[in-house]
Amino acid sequence: MSINSAFHSQRKWNIGFILFLTLLLLLLSQISIRLTLITALGISLGFVLQKSRFCLVSALRDPILIGMTQLTRAFLLLLGISILGFALVSWGASQSNIPLSLNIFPMGVHTVVGGLLFGIGMVLAGGCSTGIIIRIGEGFAMQMLAFFGLAVGSVLGERSLKSWRYTFGEWPGIFLPDIFGWVPTLILELIVLLTLWQLARWWQKKQLGE
């Protein structure tokens, strides 16, 4: 098959988009440097997310549904890199005396119920929150419906959080480095991830009968 004309027409669009984004960033930089940096970061994150075709739903669903764990292991790798990166940022912040505000939330029954609801929803919708937004951008119409559901669900969850906490109570959130210190926490977390990695490999071998 010869190279399709659809690709040729796309090249013009790509140049157009790059020009548009450059001009937009230039315009923003006249208003506020901070805004420009946030926008540039957002665009790059979106670009990487779309190109990687990373799918959290697939990582959590496929081991059970079809016995594949490639994405699950990629997800574990992502967690490992994030943990190390987070430790580096925290260390750098403490070295230069920048206060960090951590999002440590209390857990409770609502954590489990919310997790279950989100899990069922994301398998039915075929995407987690970023996954849905990426696929809307790719032009997959079904995900717009899912996005509507995501928005409604978020609002309902946010509004009812207080009554959940009031009815079932909650436990304070745990930040492991505060209890064990940074180095033992890092070692512990990486060992857990490595164990899960091995488990995932074993599971795929068993399921596909290699």
d(CA 163, CA 53): 38
Candidate ranges 41-49, 123-131, 154-162, 172-180; the one touching other proteins (CB under 8 A): 123-131
Residue 142 or 191 with smaller CB distance to other proteins: 142
Counting contacts by CB under 8 A, is residue 7 touching other proteins? yes
CA angle, 50 as apex, 48 and 52 as ends, to 5°?
65
Of 24, 25, 68, 83, the one binding other proteins (CB under 8 A) is 68
> Least distance (Å) from other proteins to the CB of residue 200?
13
Counting contacts by CB under 8 A, is residue 206 touching other proteins? no
Of 95, 139, 172, 179, the one binding other proteins (CB under 8 A) is 139
Residue 11 structure tokens: 């090249």
Of 126, 153, 157, 177, the one binding other proteins (CB under 8 A) is 126
Residue 66 or 89 with smaller CB distance to other proteins: 66
d(CA 76, CA 91): 23
Q: Residue ranges of the alpha helices (H) in the chain?
A: 5-31, 33-52, 56-65, 70-95, 109-125, 129-137, 142-168, 176-180, 182-208
For 88, counting Cβ atoms within 10 Å of its Cβ (0-12 exposed, 13-18 middle, 19+ buried), the class is: exposed
Site string for other proteins, 149-188 (x = CB under 8 A): ----------------------------------------
Quick check: 63 and 203 in contact, CB under 8 A?
yes
CA angle, 78 as apex, 75 and 82 as ends, to 5°?
145
d(CA 107, CA 170): 6
Counting contacts by CB under 8 A, is residue 140 touching other proteins? yes
Counting contacts by CB under 8 A, is residue 128 touching other proteins? no
d(CA 134, CA 103): 25
Of 15, 16, 38, 53, the one binding other proteins (CB under 8 A) is 53
> Least distance (Å) from other proteins to the CB of residue 6?
4
* Residues engaged in binding other proteins (CB under 8 A): 1, 4, 6-7, 10, 53, 55, 57-58, 61-62, 65-66, 68, 70, 126-127, 131, 135, 138-142, 204, 208
